[in-house]
Amino acid sequence: MARTREFDVDRAVDRAMDVFWRRGYGATSLQDLLAELSIGSGSLYAAFGSKDALYARALERYCSHQTGGLVERLETATEVRPVVRDVLLEMVEADLADPERGCLVVSAATERGDDPATVDRVAAAMRLFESTLAGALEKAKVRGELSADKNPVELARFLTTFVQGLRVVGQARLGRAFVEDAVATALRALD
């Protein structure tokens, strides 16, 4: 007779996400995960299969949380520029408040670039960010909020790239003035 699971899998994924986010994949041992999740190795393997599979679930959760709110905000925005500005400044504030944490997508891309599943997940998250921005910028162009000579797809790709650089700069602790100047310059691309 199989034993019933004695822990909340969703909560375990959230806690694992936090560990991987703080430490990275390589610096997180199986023992670290077991201690943080307060489970035994048998339970971890029964629920997730492996550290890699748990990491994949944690990365998926992170991407869903990060992009879900952005998608909703951009799709319901009556003006795109304030939403883009707010999103960028929220990233700045998060990085200033906790510069060691950074962005799990950036960490995944740099640390796990040799893992095809991780690369695919990171690419999917960036494509969703880019396509959501492009759609919102296209609507802004139709409304006259964005100049007719602007290419929404190119701008969305620039901003997607800029966001990743912004997250890296946040971890480098270059300071508020540095990142706020960069955000102001990036927003001028929408003029």
Mean pLDDT of 49-70: 92
Mean pLDDT of 64-75: 85
Q: Would you call 183 helix, strand, or coil by DSSP?
A: helix
Q: What is the spatial distance between Cα 143 and Cα 14, in angstroms, rounded to a whole number? A: 40
Minimal CA–CA distance to 82: which of 127, 135, 145? Answer: 145
Condensed to tens digits (0 to 9), the pLDDT of residues 142-180 reads 999 999 999 999 999 999 999 999 999 988 899 999 999
Work out the mean pLDDT of the chain and round it to a whole number: 91
Confidence at residue 100, expressed as pLDDT on a 0 to 100 scale: 82
Minimal CA–CA distance to 70: which of 165, 8, 16, 136? Answer: 136
Condensed to tens digits (0 to 9), the pLDDT of residues 23-56 reads 999 999 999 999 999 999 999 999 999 999 999 9
Can you list the domains of the chain with their CATH numbers?
Answer: 59-188 (1.10.357.10)
Confidence at residue 74, expressed as pLDDT on a 0 to 100 scale: 87
Confidence at residue 1, expressed as pLDDT on a 0 to 100 scale: 44
